[in-house]
Each structure stands twice: as structure tokens, then as C-alpha cells.
Amino acid sequence: MSLELHENVSLQPFNTFGIHVSARLFAQAGNEQDVREALALAAERGLPLLVIGGGSNLLLTRDVEALVLRMASRGLRIVEDDGESVVVEAEAGEPWHPFVQWSIAQGLAGLENLSLIPGTVGAAPIQNIGAYGVEIKDVFAGLTALDQQTGELREFTLGECAFGYRDSLFKRQAGRWIILRVRFRLLRNAQLHLEYGPVRQRLQEMGIESATSADVSRAICAIRSEKLPDPAVLGNAGSFFKNPVVSAALAERIRAEHPDLVAYPVGEGEMKLAAGWLIERAGWKGYQDGDAGVHRLQALVLVNYGDAQGQQLLDLARRIQADILQRFGVTLEIEPNVL
């Protein structure tokens, strides 16, 4: 058996909130065989298996009575190339941002708007991660997952993943699928997405008139670094709440009282509101209760200023949710997975 199993391991280094809780058992999987061994060991010990990546979308509120398996498989390869588009396959344990930078260095475009997002490749499809007008579904070419129920491998196409806003089949069927490898279709001739104002503005400030994918990546890294705290410095999981989608009628009622409401049409009679705007307008930006708080520059981000417990952060999130519902009639949905 190649899998190294450890007992009562602190998960503090393995979640970006820096929450100290213990895992009953802990192991790291470098390949598919390690994953299968972990499944067998979890069943043998009568424990559930909890699979994690970079821990960047996870709020731990208690010790974990499970075998926690961290995906640590590495590998990047080109599996198709027709001269115009290239399919790249990445192992689930590859850190996301270095993978994006690798793709740009290969002269491939498509992932630049997703620069500097924390986490791993295997976790990216679960949340259908997105930023600045691009989501995983826009560049997705397939993935390989292991079915925990049957032990069989399955290949997923775009349609089978049922991607939605920060959502997918894998999120809705949590605990069933272990993503092993993900494939992305990228382009040799960049079709850049510059619709979001801050991106164009930053490129102009950089003196760039004809941008490359590398330029866009640098611009977005600069924007994110200014807006979002580095998890290595201040514990956080990025955006803590999803941007809510509400009826156009509700959006107009809010706008009648708050003309500067940030909202975008997303469909017939629906508007997407900026959760950060709602939270900031309600006065939560910069709020701190012990070591749990709301970031002073970005109201959408909850932070651990030191030794906050996961339950403290969850309690703060619920207070914010209740306040936003009472003030605006809008229900905020928590984005990270809460355990």
C-alpha cells in the first residue's frame, strides 16, 4: 500500500481560512490508486471519505470524523491540437493559478480571466469557478471522475456536468464523484473577454492598447490583489456569498430607495444584484467581532484575523444574511462548503 495514513491531523494548513480543526484520519492522493486505497480504508474503518483540494472553498466548524483525502496529483499535458485550438488535461491536484500561468506560457488563451483564483484544478468544476465574464463552462472540454458508489471511472461532457452559477452536478451530488483529471479547450489566437470595466480600465492604465492573454492576466492579478486579501496573509475563502438573482420588480423597489444599486439583467424579468454592495450598504464592511470579521476593503469577503473558529464565522455570516433579508428582502446564499 502506497498511501500514507495519519491520525488526528490538524487541517489548519489545508484550509485557506486557517481554521484549526482535526481530521480523524488524513492522507494525500498522488494518483488514482491512492484514491482507491483511501476509499477502501475509509470503508474498512467505517468512516466517510472527505475529499479536499486547496481548501479555498471550505469553512470547517468542527473536528472531522472522516478520512480526509487531499488531492495532490500533478501533471499537465496537451492531448489534442488542431493548430487553432488545443485541449489541455490537468491532474486534479494541480494548483489553479500556476496552471493558468503555464497555459499562458504555452501561448494558449482562455483562462486568463480566471487568474489568481485560489484552489486546485479538480475543485474548479465543482463550483464552476468564474471571474470577469468567464466561467469554467466556457473553456471546459471534459473530465474524468471516479464514482464512489461503484468504483468505476466516468468521462463527463459539458452537458453532463450541468453547470450553473457557482454550481454543478458535482456540487449537487456532493460525496459521490471524485474528480481525477480535467480537460480545457484553449485557443492559440486569443479571443479576449474585456467586457468588465475594471479590466479595460486597468489595461489603459498599464498603457496597453492591443492586449495579449498575458496582459489580461497581469491586469486581473493586479485588480484582485487590490480588492481581495491574500489567504496566506489573512485567512479567507474569497467571496463568501453568491450574487443573488432576484425579480426585476424587487430590484426596482430597492433601486427606488437606493439609486446606486449595482444590478445586471440576467434573464426574462430577473436581475443579478452585487452581494458586496448589499452588505456594504447595510454597514457590515470592516465589521469585526473578535477574530471574525468582514474585510475592510471588500464586503463580500469574511476573514479570520487570527484565531477565529469556523462556528464564529458561520454565526457572523448568518447575522449578515438575516440583516440583508430584513433590509432588502434578499436572501444571500453562502458560497463555500460548510462542514
Q: Which residues contact 153 (CB under 8 A, 6 or more apart)?
A: 144, 145, 146, 147, 180
* Secondary structure (DSSP) of 264-291: EEEETTEEEE-HHHHHHHTT-TT-EETT
Q: Among 37, 218, 239, 281, which one carries the catalytic annotation?
A: 239
Alpha-carbon Rg for the chain in angstroms: 21
Helix (H) or strand (E) holding 69: strand 64-71
| Number of CB atoms found within 10 A of residue 6's CB | 11
22 tagged catalytic:
no
All cell numbers assigned to 204: 489603459
Whole-number Cα distances in Å, 315 to 201, 224, 301: 37, 27, 14
**Residue 239 a catalytic site member:** yes
Active-site choice (70, 166, 183, 281): 166
| Per-residue cell: 286 | 470592516
Q: Are 162 and 172 in contact (CB under 8 A)?
A: yes
Query: What's phi and psi for 148, nearest 5 deg?
Result: -65, -25
Positions marked catalytic = 166, 239, 335
